[in-house]
């Protein structure tokens, strides 16, 4: 089957996870106003999935599921985290990286983390050892943006330490009150090079006001224009350093999240302003990874997976002209909704897998799969090759969809629970969204259709991919059957560490 078996070595795994990249944002998924040649190359050389999902429509719960194999709604406290939150995955628990580590992989995470750092008992001191974090849940190397680009502290953390920190200029962070005398966006809009449209009016770093307050750490602060260059170089050097052993690289880009401040060489590459240019920058990062694998002769023994943590958003809190310049571009493609939404575009994301030896190159698969399935599927892969077993109670919501990932079948999951503004269930091509009495139909901040509705919703995506025709009232029996399936999954007894 795969060359990995012949060479008696497990394949390397590179997982590139974009931030807020929508189903319609790349050219191999139909975008025309922006070209993504490296994503397109991957689609030509790999398998392009049309029905792959993040299990949540925002970052933290989506990434929690990817790492832990547990639906985020099973664990309180897995919503969008502030930058000073404690790690939400207990150290020593069984995770995607710990499974691979056990199978002999050397694991690295580079880029956006947003799963918390430190513990509730000992909150993070940014000037000291910062742990627990990625290294305590299975990674061997980490170079991370602690939370998001728009949240303080705006510094990189490498393993347990802030990069380039001057001990004489310690960092303080608060999400409650102003610390130190750095100007805020609220007090000093005159100092801003990009102003907020919602929130984002606290400490100014690099001319951009953020969520949260920080002081100190001047020499450690990132320059937004250089984030993609910095983390892409770290990701490539992790590959280079570990080329002689099986490695797993989780490369979580900052693109195309806000604030969108691409490097000057990408500015103006599209007619869509910062958001379009950030897509081009993201695609460049993908290209750098592919070239590094080519140069080191690793392409034929490496699985490359590229996806996104949740659906797209145009105005996510900064006036970067994304709305004005969007033209005919549809970030959600032919889907309804976007980031945060219970409609498909909240969670259905681009997902491409390139296999060793480019097996099944060019295939398009409509298997229903999700990022949460990577722990069980990659465990199955390593199990096939080296016979690894993991405890039965671990990664309870992760399903082994390896045959679909390998392109051997178009069958994926039967059921998938999705956490957007309201909870929904996919059962094959059928979808229900639970009634939500309180939620707004359109997000006041992002103007995205949330999918919230006080009434039951049922869609047959086979002939209504854009969720326009709610058939719940016409088909009460089908609605009830699907709701029962969802209830059963929700009530399943699982161990949540
Ligand atoms: C929201 C922010 C948004 C973004 C999001 C998290 C405001 C008004 N909006 O609260 O800008 O940071 O959180 O995005 O502050 S995510 O991709 O990390 O989930
Ligand atoms: Ca995101």
Structure tokens at 133: 């974090």
CB 357 within 8 A of CB 2: yes
Would the CB of 150 count as within 6 Å of ligand 1? yes
Q: Which ligand is in closest contact with the Cα of 258?
A: 1
Residue 305 phi, psi (nearest 5): -120, 130
How far apart CA 470 and CA 272 sit, in angstroms, is 33
CA triple 121-98-497, angle to 5 deg: 45
Residue 156 phi, psi (nearest 5): -90, 145
Would the CB of 80 count as within 6 Å of ligand 1? yes
Kindly give the distance from the C-alpha atom of residue 317 to the centroid of ligand 1, in angstroms, as a whole number.
Answer: 8
Domain 4-171+221-405 has CATH 3.40.720.10: yes
- Is pLDDT of 187 > 50? yes
- Which protein residue has the closest C-alpha to ligand 1 atom 10? 80
Structure tokens at 157: 């953390």
How far apart CA 214 and CA 325 sit, in angstroms, is 33
pLDDT tens digits for range 48-87: 999 999 999 999 999 999 999 999 999 999 999 999 999 9
Q: What does pLDDT average to over the chain?
A: 96
DSSP string covering 258-306? SS----GGGTTSSTTTHHHHHHHHHHHHHHHHHHHHHHTT-GGGEEEEE
> What average pLDDT does range 271-294 have in this prediction?
98
How far apart CA 4 and CA 6 sit, in angstroms, is 5
Q: Count of alpha carbons within 13 Å of 13, Cβ hemisphere only?
A: 26
Structure tokens at 256: 């195309």
* 102: enclosing H helix or E strand: helix 96-102
* 426: enclosing H helix or E strand: strand 423-427
Q: Which of 21, 55, 59 gets mutated to test ligand 1 (max ligand atoms within 8 A of its CB)? A: 59
How far apart CA 126 and CA 180 sit, in angstroms, is 15
Same fold, 4-171+221-405 and 415-491: no
Kindly give the distance from the C-alpha atom of residue 476 to the centroid of ligand 1, in angstroms, as a whole number.
Answer: 36
Residue 406 phi, psi (nearest 5): -85, -5
Residues whose CB falls within 8 Å of the CB of residue 467, separated by 6 or more in sequence, listed in order: 335, 336, 337, 343, 344, 431, 451, 457, 459, 461
Domain 415-491 sits in CATH at 3.30.1120.10
Would the CB of 316 count as within 6 Å of ligand 1? yes
Nearest ligand 1 atom to alpha carbon 150: 12
Other residues' Cβ atoms within 10 Å of the Cβ of residue 260 = 25
The closest alpha carbon to 204, from 186, 220, 219, belongs to 186
pLDDT tens digits for range 405-416: 999 999 999 999
- Is pLDDT of 5 > 90? no
How far apart CA 426 and CA 413 sit, in angstroms, is 9
Kindly give the distance from the C-alpha atom of residue 277 to the centroid of ligand 1, in angstroms, as a whole number.
Answer: 20
Percentage of the chain beyond pLDDT 90 is: 95
Other residues' Cβ atoms within 10 Å of the Cβ of residue 245 = 12
Structure tokens at 372: 């949460």
CB-based burial, 354-388: b 16+ in 10 Å, e otherwise:
bbbbebbeeeebebbbbbbbbbbbbbbbbbebeeb
DSSP string covering 325-343? T-TT--TTTTSS--TT-SS
Helices (H) and strands (E) in the chain, counts: 9, 20
* 384: enclosing H helix or E strand: helix 374-386
pLDDT tens digits for range 342-384: 999 999 999 999 999 999 999 999 999 999 999 999 999 998 7
Burial label for 485, CB within 10 Å (0-12, 13-18, 19+), is middle
Q: Using DSSP, state whether 354 is helix, strand or coil.
A: strand
> What average pLDDT does range 475-496 have in this prediction?
97
Would the CB of 201 count as within 6 Å of ligand 1? no
pLDDT band at 339 (very low <50, low <70, confident <90, very high): very high
pLDDT band at 8 (very low <50, low <70, confident <90, very high): low
Domain locations along the chain: 4-171+221-405, 174-215, 415-491
């Amino acid at each position: 089957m795969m060359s990995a078996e012949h060479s008696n070595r497990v394949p390397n795994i590179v997982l590139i996870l974009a931030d807020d990249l929508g189903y319609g944002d790349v050219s191999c998924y139909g975008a025309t106003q922006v070209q993504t040649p490296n994503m397109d190359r991957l689609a030509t050389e790999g398998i392009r999935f049309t029905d792959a999902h993040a299990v949540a429509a925002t970052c933290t719960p989506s990434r929690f599921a990817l790492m832990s194999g547990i639906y985020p709604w099973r664990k309180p406290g897995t919503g969008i985290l502030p930058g000073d939150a404690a790690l939400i995955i207990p150290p020593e628990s069984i995770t995607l990286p710990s499974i691979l580590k056990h199978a002999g992989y050397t694991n690295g995470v580079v880029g956006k983390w947003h799963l918390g750092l430190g513990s509730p008992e000992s909150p993070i001191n940014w000037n000291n050892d910062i742990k627990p974090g990625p290294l305590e849940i299975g990674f061997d190397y980490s170079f991370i943006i602690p939370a998001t680009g728009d949240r303080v502290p705006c510094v990189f953390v490498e393993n347990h330490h802030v990069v380039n920190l001057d001990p004489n200029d310690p960092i303080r962070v608060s999400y409650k009150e102003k610390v130190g005398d750095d100007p805020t966006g609220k007090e000093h809009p005159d100092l801003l090079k990009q102003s907020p449209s919602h929130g984002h009016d606290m400490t100014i770093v690099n001319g951009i006001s953020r969520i949260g307050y920080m002081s100190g750490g001047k020499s450690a602060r990132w320059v937004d224009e250089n984030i993609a260059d910095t983390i892409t170089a770290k990701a490539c050097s992790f590959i280079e350093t570990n080329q002689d052993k099986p490695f797993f690289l989780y490369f979580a880009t900052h693109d195309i999240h806000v604030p969108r401040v691409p490097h000057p060489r990408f500015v103006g590459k599209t007619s869509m302003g910062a958001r379009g240019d950030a897509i081009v920058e993201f695609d460049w990062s993908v290209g750098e990874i592919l070239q590094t694998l080519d140069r080191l002769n690793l392409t034929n023994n490496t699985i490359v997976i590229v996806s996104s943590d949740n659906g797209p958003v145009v105005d996510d809190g900064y006036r970067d002209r994304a709305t004005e310049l969007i033209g005919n571009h549809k970030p959600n493609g032919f889907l309804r909704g976007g980031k945060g939404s219970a409609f498909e575009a909240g969670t259905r994301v681009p997902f491409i897998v390139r296999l060793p030896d480019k097996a099944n190159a060019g295939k398009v698969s409509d298997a229903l799969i999700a990022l949460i399935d990577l722990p069980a599927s990659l465990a199955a892969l390593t199990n096939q090759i080296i016979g690894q077993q993991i405890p039965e109670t671990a990664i309870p919501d992760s399903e082994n969809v390896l045959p679909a990932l390998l392109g051997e079948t178009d069958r994926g999951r039967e059921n998938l629970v999705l956490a957007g503004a309201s909870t929904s269930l996919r059962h094959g091509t059928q979808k229900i969204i639970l009634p939500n009495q309180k939620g707004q139909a359109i997000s006041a901040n992002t103007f995205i259709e949330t999918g919230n509705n006080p009434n039951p919703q049922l869609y047959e995506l086979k002939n209504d991919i854009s969720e326009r025709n709610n058939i719940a009232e016409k088909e009460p029996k089908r609605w009830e059957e699907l709701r029962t399936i969802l209830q059963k999954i929700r009530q399943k007894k699982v161990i949540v560490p």
